A = this chain, B = another copy of it.
Amino acid sequence: MPNPTAAMLVIGDEILSGRTRDANMHHLAGALTEHGIDLREVRIVSDDADAITAAVRALSDTHDHVFTSGGIGPTHDDITADCIAAAFGASIDVRDDARRLLAAHYERQGAELNQARLRMARIPEGAALIDNPVSVAPGFSLGNVPVMAGVPAVFRAMVASVLPTLTGGAPLISRSLRILRGEGDIAGPLGDLARRFDDLSFGSYPFQKDGIYGANVVIRGPDAGRVELALAELTRAFAP
């Protein structure tokens, strides 16, 4: 059985403007690979309701899971929850279970649960809350879309809350070989190998450093024995 598929939707003007560099995508990609879920596509869109809603609809129709990051805080530009509700035609309002979590948290902190903070208790009807052990305000899963915070520490905690609840497949085995030859010298034999081992995937990732051309060739597949066999042939073909 093929592995479940996933997409990720990153919501945030700050990444598109070049102000900050996304860290959540790289974290989720690694966590999904370990869990046996194939991340097929990532989209990054701005804090724009139409763009978010359209992307959620398109990605949730074509993938088993869609993970979102960003836009669920208390400020005016946090519109993700409303967009997810709209994408699924669900109603949204402050929900008692989320409000209780926040009320207890801010009482412990001696801070006021004001109107702005109460926005973080707006949860679409039918969604399941995602635990946030870092800063309490919950994420939620609606349909096949887990909705998580953009702050990296919170995002990671929510991923750790959600992933064990999702059925994974066989983790891909991955082995790589660093070859200090130009890709143009590698390409012919590598293409032959890829055709012979058509149950595996072969990626070639070129680099150049201090005037030396080379490539990291990565072999991936579900069967460790086959991956090792292909790696041995690759190594023999490009032995120094």
B27, B32, B51, B75: the one contacting A204 at CB < 8 Å is B75
Q: Quick check: A17 and B187 within 8 Å, CB to CB?
A: no
**Min C-beta distance of A12 to chain B, whole Å:** 8
Task: Look across to chain B and name the residue whose beta carbon is closest to the beta carbon of A120.
Answer: B184
B17, B29, B77, B106: the one contacting A16 at CB < 8 Å is B29
Report if A73-B206 is in contact (Cβ < 8 Å); known contacts: A51-B40, A51-B41, A184-B116: yes
Cβ contacts under 8 Å, A185 to chain B: 111, 114, 116
Cβ contacts under 8 Å, A188 to chain B: 114-116
B31, B76, B202, B208: the one contacting A202 at CB < 8 Å is B76
The number of residues on chain A lying at the interface, defined by a beta carbon within 8 Å of a beta carbon of chain B, is 70
In the assembled complex, A42 has its CB within 8 A of some CB on chain B: yes
Question: Which residues of A approach B to under 8 Å, CB–CB?
Answer: 13-22, 25-33, 39-47, 51, 73-77, 106, 111, 114-117, 119-120, 134-135, 151, 153, 172, 174, 182-188, 190-191, 194, 201-208, 213, 215, 218, 220
Q: A14-B205, A151-B208 are in contact. List 18 more A-B contacts (CB 8 A).
A: A13-B203, A14-B203, A15-B42, A16-B29, A16-B40, A17-B33, A17-B174, A17-B220, A18-B26, A18-B28, A18-B29, A41-B43, A76-B187, A76-B194, A106-B184, A116-B185, A116-B186, A135-B208
